[in-house]
Structure 1
Amino acid sequence: MRPDPAALRAVLHRSLADPAAAWSLGGYGAGATFRREAGEPAGAPCGGRPGLVTPRGALVLEGADTLVPVAYETALGGGAWSQALALCRPLHRPSPGPAPRVSEVGADAEAARAADRDGVLFCLGLPLRQARLLARVQGEAVPALRAACGAPADAALWASLPGLGAVLVAAHGGARIEVVLPDAHPGPRAHWFDKLLRQGRLHAATAPIPAGLAPVIHLHPPHPLTEAGFEAGRHAAFQALLARWGDPALVAIKRRILAGEDVTVPDTRAARGVARVARAQRRWPGAGGGAG
């Protein structure tokens, strides 16, 4: 896989300007998602870093262009599908996971807003291999989280964070998503599903991420299926990403199905999934042959 940092930076820059794009950072079962509405005020993170800052959260993409991009689509029920550009790190460069307990990290020197840098970070100690989940608090909330240090994070602690005025931070290196709690849809959201997290997976089984890579950040470009129908421009934009950074074998299978060829689909989860996506997309004018 060749990341092509210049091309990736251009994609990230265009996507930051699109309020319909969504972003997520974390691992299977825990992390954060960043969204914004079209008219929502948005600025840039302090220090000249790439990203976005809104009243409800922040996205910082420092170092994202050094990760390995993998574009893919997954089949959903009812003729629907999802699409994503996963930014992955090689597993031969593992970062040590946090101790399985709440611990104080210190002042948040990497906060997206300069005014938040005096907030105190606490690592929640969740068993994520791709990122860390932290809570940032200020003032009287600091002693409350200090009292939780040394014990594993639990549902009661998670439920208490909004009342403490906490900001949830999902971070990997210099990249992060900040979520002002309480979160609300649509907008930046934090999630922690203990049953999924404890499976120890790097990603969903339906995501065709190459062996040896762990997805850290996901860009979720605007989907072509909207309430108004099928948007061919959105579809073509993602198909260009798929042609550049998708699995070549899967892209070839999809191209042949869209062209109407009689294709023997390999008996793998990824191949069966891409065949379902291709057949779903053939229903829409303007989608045929888009993978090439």
Structure 2
Amino acid sequence: MTGDPLESETLLRAMFGAEGHLWSVGTLSAFMTPDGTGTPGYGPSGLILGGARSRTRLRPGARLLAFETLSSDPRGWNHGIALSLPGAAGAASGRVRRARDYDPIDPADAGRPVLDLGLGQGPVRALFRPATGEALATEGLTWEEAAPVLAALPGEWVIDTPVLRLERAGAPPHCVPQARATGRSHAETTPLPPGLIPVAHVFPPHPARQQPGEPVGFDSTCHARFQAILARHGRPDLWALKAEVVAQLAAGRFEPPATDRHAATVVRVALRQHAHLHGPPPRAWTERFDRPLARALEGGG
């Protein structure tokens, strides 16, 4: 993870609104996705991207963590970039209360009453900004009780963080109930260092698929682009491990490294990418680290 905030901000601005880049704002307790692509513009409160039903604001300050994880496809993998801040998540209260919103995207909305949905973790708040006073009657209800009532009323759902804010009409935030109960903010497969909480994610274009379940011909340029991001913004120890595995594969060596959960994932992703770039990796590697890949290669699946 690079410590250069200017470099991180330049990268985020380039991806903000770019075609094929999927964004998610929030934690597992409450998250939403914007619908806008195009050229963002500077407003009075930050860099703003408008969509048909949403507005998103980007501000500097996030620490970036690029990562790769395994997918359910035995030949595939996922990749993304977590926008993180110092802090801890903690369990969300799950109870609706009245609040004020003093930092909206449009300054004209400052100070309007909102409902805090009780789904926030750490620096993340999940809000509903009602268009009428009727929604305020849900104060004190649990999220499960309030959600269907609020979904039928006019207003905007808001996921607010210090670095990214999304205001959206329509469907309420997604919520993973187990994560809300346990206080988990992100998937265990994300190799986030201790002391950080991811408040948003961006998923750049994937070199081997259009979206999950829709494979495309492998795009080596797209692959190289994300590897450059991973080299600068991934965990240094995991990037060094991946570079060593790639070098061993290129040299025909098999000196298996010691691995924990995240390191084993790095090795498996490197093997799957090798299969796309150069053909099947040596069987010793797949038998040791990735038997699902070995079976897929044997069966042509």
Following superposition, the deviation at residue 233 of structure 1 comes to: 2.1
Is 1:252 the equivalent of 2:240? yes
Structure 2 residue aligned with 1:148:
138
Q: Where does residue 275 of structure 1 map in the other structure?
A: 267
Aligned to 2:52: 55
1:48: how far off? 5.5
Paired with 1:207 and 1:2, the residues of 2 have a C-alpha distance of: 17
| Partner in structure 2 of residue 186 of structure 1 | none
Identity %: 29
1:175-254 aligned at under 5 Å gives the runs 175-182=164-171, 190-226=173-209, 227-254=215-242
Q: Give the RMSD, CA atoms, in angstroms.
A: 2.8
Gaps of 5+ in 2: 210-214, 281-301
User: Please, what TM-score do these two structures have when normalized by structure 1?
Assistant: 0.82
Structure (1/2) with the larger helix percentage = 2
The answer to whether the 8 A contact 1:135-1:166 is kept is yes
Alignment-derived partner of residue 149 in structure 2 = 160
What is the alpha-carbon distance in structure 1 between the residues aligned to residue 197 and residue 25 of structure 2? 12
Q: Distance in 2 between matches of 1:247 and 1:153?
A: 36
SS in 2 for 1:13: helix
In 2, distance between residues paired with 1:12 and 1:182? 26
User: Is contact 1:50-1:60 (8 Å) kept?
Assistant: yes
- The equivalent of 2:117 in structure 1 is 124
What does the per-residue CA deviation read over 1:231-258, in whole Å, with 9 as the maximum and x for residues that have no partner? 2222112111110111122112212222
Q: Which residue of 1 aligns with 2:127?
A: 134
Q: Does 1:111 align with 2:104?
A: yes
Pair 1:138–1:286, CA change in 2 (3 A): farther
Question: Using the alignment, how far apart are the partners of 2:267 and 2:194 within structure 1?
Answer: 21
Aligned-partner residue type, residue 58 of structure 1 = R
d(CA) in 2 for partners of 1:150 and 1:3? Answer: 42
Q: Which residue of 2 aligns with 1:12?
A: 12
Give, as a single letter, the amino acid of the residue that structure 2 aligns with 1:8. S
Structure 2 distance, partners of 1:28, 1:59, is: 19
Give 3-state SS (helix, strand or coil) of 2:158's partner. strand
Which residue in the other structure is 1:187 paired with?
A: none
Say whether the 8 Å CA contact 2:104–2:110 is kept in structure 1: yes
Aligned length, in residue pairs: 270
Pairing partner for 1:266 from 246, 258, 263: 258
Letter in structure 2 aligned against 1:178: E
Query: What CA distance in whole angstroms lies between the structure 2 residues aligned with 1:287 and 1:236?
Result: 17
User: How many Å apart are 1:179 and its aligned residue?
Assistant: 2.3
Report how far residue 195 of structure 1 moved.
2.1
Cα 1:233–1:103 change in 2 (3 A) is same
Alignment partner of 2:65 out of 55, 70, 75: 70
Counterpart AA for 1:165: P
Question: What is the match of residue 22 of structure 2?
Answer: 22
Query: Hey, what does 1:85 align to over in structure 2?
Result: 81
